[in-house]
Every structure is written in C-alpha cells, then in structure tokens.
Structure 1
Amino acid sequence: MENLTAKDINDRFMNKIAWVSVIVGLEIVLGLIGNVVVIYVFGRRYHHCNFRYFVLCIALIDLLSVFTTMPAEIVSQLYWYVYPMGKSFCKIKTFLSVFTISSETYCLCVVAVDRWRKMCRPHGWQIRPRHAFRICVVIGIISAMQSSPVFVLWGLYSYQIENITVTVCEKDEQYIGSNYHPIYISVNTVILISIIVAMNGLYAALYVNIPRLLLKGSFHALVN
C-alpha cells in the first residue's frame, strides 16, 4: 500500500486547481495596473465631486486586495492541506478578504444611491463631496467591525484524510462542533445579498426612468 503524506495529498489537490492560481496571478497584474491608472486619473485629473471619492475608495480597496488578499489566496491554494503560514496569518488573510468584499459592496451600493438621487430626485438632497469622504470613512469602520469576528472564529484546523493528518486555514479548532462559524457566514451572506438586491433595484428604477428623464433634459445630472 502506498505510504501517503500530507504533502502528497496537497500536491494532488494543487495539480487540480493550479489553473485557479494562474488566473488569480493574472488578476493581480491587471488589478495593479488598472487601479493605479484609476487612482491617478481620479486623484489628479478628475473634477472635484462626490463620485470621485467613491471611485477612489473602491480603487484603494481593490489595491489593498491586490497586495494582500490575492497573494495570500495563492499561498492557500498552493499549500491547502499543509498550511505553512501560521494561525495569525490565516486570521489576517481571512479578515482582509471579508473586509474588502464588504467595503466594496457598500461602496457600490452608495454609488447606486447617489446615481438614483441625481437622476430621480435632482431637486432633493444630494451627497456632497464632504459627505462622500465621510461616507467612505464610515464604510471602512463598518466593514472592519463586520469582519472583526474572523479574528476569533478563523484559524488552523487539523483533521485526517486517508489516515493522514492535514492542516488547513478554516475555522479555529476551538470552535469545531459549534454553530458560530456557519452563523457568522450566513449572517454576512444575507447582509451582502440584501445590499446587492437593493443596489440592483435602484439601478432598475433608474433605467426605467431614463426615457422620462431624457425628455425632461435632466440626464446631465448623472455625470456631475
């Protein structure tokens, strides 16, 4: 009978998903170039408006993901069953992953609200540049709070495959058998899906109103 090791099991898994790591690597390169260009254009060339702050916020979050989350994901994929980076690295990696996803979702939703108000409520209250900056700060704080349970719930977890002990970056061992981990994931998923649904609803309402707004001559508000 073949004497397998954790490294053998990891190598088999890595060979199956190597293409995923290649795609993530390409995303890192494209994300770095694209976001640097966006930050330069909107930071130095774009006129002063609330949309500028939102785009810069999204680009900076993307850049954070490019430098941290994506490379850490490649490490996880290459060493899935023999995770080499330790519990602290696992917690930080997962925190940043949840943080970037949450904050980008919130930012995109705020952009949808801003577009909707400018098009459908052009004479009502609008988000000003000073408001936009504060909103971006609040989004960062809320996303950090939403992601903070990761530091408790995530960590290294060892179990057996084919009588071989493997170590993965998943739930912390002290929470094995508890419901905290799935509850946290479920709550986060519901929150993000609800925001995405609300955002799509706003854009749907916006597109439905575009013909009427064109006739009224207020379409220029969308780009201001």
Structure 2
Amino acid sequence: MASMLPVVSTGTTLFGVHITTAEVTSSLNISDEEKRRYLSHLDDTTFRLMIPAVVYLAILMVLGIFGNILVLIVYLKKFKPSPTRVFVVCLSVFDLMTCFISLPGEILDMRYIHTFDYPNVCKMLRFNNSFSVVSSGFTLIAVAIDRYRKICRPLNTQITIKVARIMVGIAVSVSLVVTIPAVIVYGRKTVKTDNEEINGFECSIDDRWRDTLFPLVYIGVLFLIFFGSLGILVFVYAFIGRTVFNHRRFKFRPSRDTEHHTSNYTTETSFEDGTVKNGKKYSGNEKKSDKGKGIRSARQSFCKVSPSTVFGDVSNSNHGFDDSSETSCSDVNDTSAKPKTRSADKCPNRVTSTRKKASKPQSGPRGMKTTFMLFIITAVFIISFLPHLILMITRFVKSDFENSLQGAGIMMYNIFLRSYYINSAVNCIVYSFCNERFRNEAKNLAVSCFR
C-alpha cells in the first residue's frame, strides 16, 4: 500500500478565493473522507463571499412570501370578480412559487457550491424557476392586451372573466412546454478544484450535455421569448400611452370648445318640438318620418361629439381598481328606423353629466389608475431582468469573466446575477402605492390580525 503523505496545497478556487490548507494525499488515491473535508473547506471559504447575496435573497423571500399571501387574501376576499383580479391573483401565485421553492433552493446552492450533489433537486429548482418566470411574462402580455382593449377600444367587446382565465391557461400551457427541457438540461455539473484529484459538484447544466448544442439552443429560445415578449409589451403600452396622451390633451382644452360642441348639439336636438334646428323654424305639422330622421341625426351627432365623451363614459363604468363592472354606451349607436323617445331623452342628460365630469382635471378615469399600476408591474419585471441579462451576455462573450473576479466583484456579481428575483417580492409594494383600496384593506387586515 502506498504511503500517505501530508501535502500543503495553496491556490485559488473557481471564485478567486485564496486558500492554504493541509490535506493528506497519496500518489494513488484519496479517501472519500479526505475529499469531503477538502470540499467542505472550499464551501466554507467561498460562502463568506456569498453572504451579501444570501442576505439579499433572504429579504426578498420573506417579503415575497408575506406580501403575495397578503395580495391573495385581499384580492380574493375584498375585490369583486373581474379580469384584473384573475391576472393579479395568477401573478401572485407564480411569485409565491418562486419565493417558496426557487429562493430557498438558490440559497442552498450558494451555501454548498462545491458539494451540491443532488441532481433531482437541481432539476426541480431550475424548472420551477424557469416556469414561474416565463408564466409571469406571458400573463403580463395578457394584462397588456386587456389594458389595450379597455383604453384604446372602450366600445368594443371587452375581455371577460372567462376569457381572462382561458388566457392564463394558455400562458401556463405554453410556459410548461417551453420550460420542460430544463428537467433534462440541468443536473449535476462537475467543478474542478485546485487539487486535480478532487472535483466538486454544483447545480448547473448536466455533464451529459456540456459538449452539445442542446443547452445553447434551450437558452437561446428563452432569450428569444424574453426579447419577443419585451417587444410586444413595449408596442402595446406605446399605443396605450399615445391614447392616454391624446385624451388628456383634449380634456384640458379651453372651455369655449366644450361650449361650442354643446351649442351645436342643443341646436340639432331642439327641433323635435317643432321650433328650431340650425337656426330654422319648423312647424308642428312636420312629418313623422322627418322627425325620426332628426332624432337619429341628433343621436349620431352625440356619438361624434368628442373623444372625451367616450372616455368619460368608460371611466364612469369602472368601479375602482378592480374593474369589477364595465358597460358600454351601445344605445347611442342605435340606428334603427324607429325613433326611441326615451333613449333620446336620456342622452342629453348623459352628455351633460359626462361633459361636467370630463371638465374637471382632478377626476381622471379610474381605469387609468389600474392601467398605471399594471404598467409599473410590467416595468419592474423588465427592469429586474436587465442586470441578469447583461451578466449572462458578458459571461458568454468573455469565457474567463467569472474566474477573473475578486473580493467585492464576486459579491456584486452574485447579487446582480439574481436580480430578477426582485420582481417576485415587490409587486405587493406596487399594489400598495398605486391602489388605495388595496392599501386600506391591507391595513384593516393587519389591524385585525394584531387584535
């Protein structure tokens, strides 16, 4: 049997950690216990540089778990069923999956970065992480489409609760198909150490696929999905922003514009009594058919009065942030041959009340606030991914980028590499700032719990 000699090994690990430790080696083999001790020492030494990233993830995990549970309780118990509630609840479920499974797994991976020899656990963690993120992205696209129809196409058929659930189901199904390869790609990766005879293991792309194109194709598909989703979101919200800008520009026009439109409308509709139309006097013996035409003309002119009339009607039909009930002024588009006196009588009052509300700058459409809240959530989702994507691209272009880091650089690298986890924890904060009703209900719930 070969003699066992203590040898002092000094060097730099994969993460730039300088170590000097005495280990028992032999010219032929090293016992399992010696390997374990050596790798455990590497874990302890490297973990010191991981502590800032671990603290960062621990804060996000606690904030995300309690925040998303609060969102689920408030929206399910206090808000009426609506498409917006469907989207918000689903986003919270995806975020909870990240906070309950992915974040603890990420912390575990950083703590045992050289001894994570659990392939099945690794597959589950990476799949859950990819699935929850992709599902959230597709759900945000559904949210953008819903907002587009409410703001830019208010008189068209709107997305119902059933349609919203179908859209989320499609998002989940597509995400499942896209991310299922993560179960195959990820697993146990062999990590080299300073001792050539000792190798560690980490949760990354499995050794079986290291020299194949499959991991590259899979990551490339995820990149395409992200940038494609980003393009769709930017495009849709650009249309929404343009519509909101045009609406506000019309809303704050001088009052004489409004008076001009009102006088035109009044002049056209007053001839039904046989008095005046556009400055001309009509006798009471006017034919009924002509009266019908006059009424229809008046009602059509009402629908062409101004964009603010349309937006004012939609804003009044949105009850709070949950968009729980939405109606459309379909009766004003009625062009049937028979005049409807009741409907015609109601329209002037409706126009007057609508114009009065639109003339007040402080009474903006409530649906705009919901749109702003959901836009902020989308923006946070996109921005939180930028540091991660930049580091991934840098690491792909410069293969030795990770090995060249030292000290504080390693700390910052591990924090920004996991920047996208912010999205799973801050949504509840966005709801609190943008939704007064959610904020009040959350306060009441907190008070009742403390009592």
- State whether TM-score is above 0.5: yes
Q: Which has the larger radius of gyration?
A: 2
Q: What CA distance in whole angstroms lies between the structure 1 residues aligned with 2:129 and 2:223?
A: 14
Please report how far the alpha carbon of residue 143 of structure 1 lies from its aligned counterpart in structure 2 after TM superposition: 1.0
70, 87, 93: which is aligned to 1:54? Answer: 87
TM-score of the aligned structures, taking structure 1 as reference length: 0.93
Post-superposition CA distance 1:24-70 (Å, at most 9, x none):
11111111111111111111111221011000000011111111111
Q: What CA distance in whole angstroms lies between the structure 1 residues aligned with 2:234 and 2:45?
A: 41
Q: Alignment partner of 1:127: what SS?
A: coil
The answer as to whether partners of 1:119 and 1:213 remain within 8 angstroms in 2 is no
The aligned residue for residue 154 of structure 1 is 186
Q: Alignment partner of 2:81: what SS?
A: coil
Please report how far the alpha carbon of residue 107 of structure 1 lies from its aligned counterpart in structure 2 after TM superposition: 0.9
- Equivalent AA in structure 2 for residue 7 of structure 1: S
Q: Is 1:27 the counterpart of 2:63 in the alignment?
A: no
Post-superposition CA distance 1:178-216 (Å, at most 9, x none):
111121011111111210221122112211221323433
Range with greater deviation from structure 2 (158-167 or 92-101)? 158-167
Q: How many residues align?
A: 223
The aligned residue for residue 89 of structure 1 is 121
The answer as to whether partners of 2:114 and 2:191 remain within 8 angstroms in 1 is no
Q: What CA distance in whole angstroms lies between the structure 1 residues aligned with 2:71 and 2:183?
A: 32
- Equivalent AA in structure 2 for residue 95 of structure 1: F
RMSD: 1.7
Q: What CA distance in whole angstroms lies between the structure 1 residues aligned with 2:47 and 2:236?
A: 42
TM-score of the aligned structures, taking structure 2 as reference length: 0.47
The aligned residue for residue 172 of structure 1 is 206
Q: Unaligned stretches of 5+ in structure 1?
A: none
The answer as to whether partners of 1:154 and 1:171 remain within 8 angstroms in 2 is yes
- Higher-RCO chain (CA-CA 8 Å, sequence separation at least 6): 1
Q: What CA distance in whole angstroms lies between the structure 2 residues aligned with 1:130 and 1:63?
A: 23
The answer as to whether partners of 2:185 and 2:209 remain within 8 angstroms in 1 is yes
Please report how far the alpha carbon of residue 108 of structure 1 lies from its aligned counterpart in structure 2 after TM superposition: 1.1
The answer as to whether partners of 2:142 and 2:168 remain within 8 angstroms in 1 is no
The aligned residue for residue 421 of structure 2 is none
Q: What CA distance in whole angstroms lies between the structure 1 residues aligned with 2:191 and 2:98?
A: 30
Please report how far the alpha carbon of residue 12 of structure 1 lies from its aligned counterpart in structure 2 after TM superposition: 2.8
Within a 5 Å distance, the mapping from 1:127-138 to structure 2 comes to 127-138=159-170
Q: Which structure has greater helix proportion?
A: 1
Q: Alignment partner of 1:62: what SS?
A: helix
Range with greater deviation from structure 2 (99-108 or 168-177)? 168-177
Q: Unaligned stretches of 5+ in structure 2?
A: 1-7, 10-21, 24-37, 252-306, 324-451
Q: Is 1:36 the counterpart of 2:46 in the alignment?
A: no
